[in-house]
Amino acid sequence: MRVLLVGTGGVGESIAVVAQKAPWLQRMVLTDINVKRCREVRAKLGDPRKFPVEAIDASNKAQIVELARKHKVDLIMNAVEPLFNEKIFDAAYQYGCTYMDMAMTLSTPHPKRPFQEPGIKLGDYQFERAARWEKKGLLALLGMGVEPGMADIFAKYAEKHLFDEIDEVNVRDGANLEVRGYEFAPNFSIWTTIEECLNPPIIWEKDRGWYTTEPFSELETFEFPEGIGAQGCVNVEHEEVLLVPRWVKCKRVTFKYGLGDDFIRVLKTIKMLGLDNKNPIKVGGVKVAPRDVVAACLPDPAHLGDRMFGKTCAGTWVKGRKNGKPRQVYLYQVADNETCMKKYGVQAVVWQTAVNPVIAMELIEQGIWKRAGVFGPEAFDPDPFVERMPKYDFPYGMREM
C-alpha cells in the first residue's frame, strides 16, 4: 500500500511510527505545510526511501491531487485539522483512491435554536456525497481514530457478541494526565478541542433523532479503570453520535469527556473573549484567525511527551440486555504515557489515536474491509480489528458494570 499522509503533526508522526515496520506498507509520503517537521519525523524513522517528504497546503485540492498522482498512492490519510476535510476528501475522490480521516467535516450550529436542534451536522458534507463514491467504486472511511474509531468498533462488537438488545451506547473518555511545567497545555490539538467542546453537543435518541444541548451539560461521574478513577464527564459534540446510529441498533447514543473544572473554565474564557473564532479578522494590516493565535500561543502537543505523566482511557459503555437479563459493559483501551514514550517516542494521546487508522489500513490493504461509498468504522465487521489489537501492542479491556 502507498499512503499519502496529509499532516505530520503529533498524530501524523504516530501513524508513521506505528506503520513503519508493517510488511503491507510500501510507502508513506510525509506531507505538511511545515516541511522541517516532516524531515524531523523522517529522521526519527530512519527510512528515507519508505518515507519521502513533500510540502503540502491542505487547503489546496489541486496540490493534494498532484502529489497523490506523483506517488501513485492507494490511500489518502487525513491527519490535519478538520477545517481542511472537505478539500482532502474531494481530492481523494477526484484522484480516485481510498480516503480515511479521524474526524469528519465540521458542523454549523442551528441559526435560531443552537441548543435544541442541529444545523449542519458533523459529516453531512461527506454523507451527502456517498452515492458518488459508491458509483465510482471508492471507499471513504470516516472517523477512524480512537474516538471516533475504536469506540465505534467497540459498539459494533458489543452488538455482535455481548448483547441481544442495546438501549444505550455511551462513549466516555477520561484521563489523569498531567503536563508539568505549564499552567495550561492541552495534550491534543487545541484547535480541535475548541471545536468539539464549544460547539453545541449532539445526542441521538431513536424516537427523537439528533438534537443538541448546551456545552458542558449533563455532568455525571464516571469511574475510569486502571487507576484513573472518578471523573466528572460532560456532553461534548463528537462523531460517534453521528455514526453509531447508522449501523448499530440502539435507543440512545451520547459522548462525554472528563474535562475537569479548570479546563472547562479556560474554554469558557476563550469563548467569552471570542478567541474560538476560526474566521480571520483584521489586526492592524494582517488578517488572522483568533483560534490560530490561541494555538500558536500554546505548546505543540507533539513535543509534550517528556513532560506528561499518567494515563488516558477511551471506551464505550453499552447498556442493554443479554439472555433476558440487564447488562452493562465498558469496553476500553488505556494508554500509559511513560510506556508510550519509552516504546514509541510519542505521547500517549496521539499514539492511542494513531494505532487505529493503521490497523484499518491493514484491513483495507488485505481486502478484509472492502466497500464502496462513505462509511463509519461500525459499518464493518469488528472482529478482524479487535483480533489485531494485541498484535499492535494495543490491548483492550472489558468491565462489567
Residue 250 lies in a domain: yes
End of a domain among 297, 326, 344?
A: 344
**Residue 175, in any domain of the structure:** yes
Structural domain harbouring 35: 2-100
**pLDDT beyond 80 at 269:** yes
The percent helix, strand, coil of the chain (3-state, each to 5) is 40, 25, 35
Position 192 scores a pLDDT of 83
Please give the C-alpha separations between residue 94 and each of 28, 180, 249, 323, 376, in angstroms, as whole numbers. 20, 45, 34, 49, 21
Would 338 be classed as within a structural domain?
A: yes
Total domains in the chain come to: 2
d(CA 22, CA 2) in angstroms, rounded, equals 12
Condensed to tens digits (0 to 9), the pLDDT of residues 121-169 reads 999 999 999 999 999 999 999 999 999 999 999 999 999 999 999 999 9
C-alpha distances in Å from residue 75, one per residue of 94, 187, 260, 346: 13, 28, 38, 24
272's CB contacts (< 8 A; 6+ apart) are: none
Residues 314 and 219 in one domain: yes
Identify whether 32 is part of a domain: yes
Is 124 domain-assigned? Answer: no
What per-residue confidence (pLDDT) applies to 296?
Answer: 87
Residue 285 is predicted with a pLDDT of 86
Residues 183 and 328 in one domain: yes
Q: Is residue 388 assigned to a domain?
A: no
Kindly tell me if the per-residue pLDDT of 188 is higher than 80: no
- 353 domain-assigned: no
Q: What is the DSSP letter of 108?
A: B
Same-domain pairing of 86 and 156: no
CATH assignment of the domain containing 10: 3.40.50.720
CATH assignment at residue 160: 3.30.360.10
Q: Are residues 207 and 305 in the same domain?
A: yes
The three-state secondary structure class of 53 is strand
Burial-class residue 126 by CB neighbours within 10 Å (0-12, 13-18, 19+): buried
Q: Which of 344, 369, 395 is at the close of a domain?
A: 344
Cα-Cα-Cα-Cα dihedral of 371, 64, 297, 16, to 10°? 60
Residue reference for cell 438501549:
167
Residues 214 and 321 in one domain: yes
162 with 95, same domain: the answer is no
Do residue 158 and residue 69 come from a single domain?
Answer: no
Q: Is residue 93 part of a domain?
A: yes
- Same domain assignment for residues 224 and 316: yes
Q: Which residue has the cell 477520561?
A: 174
Per-residue pLDDT reduced to its tens digit, 194-246: 888 899 999 999 999 999 999 999 999 999 999 999 999 999 999 999 999 99
In this prediction the pTM is: 0.94
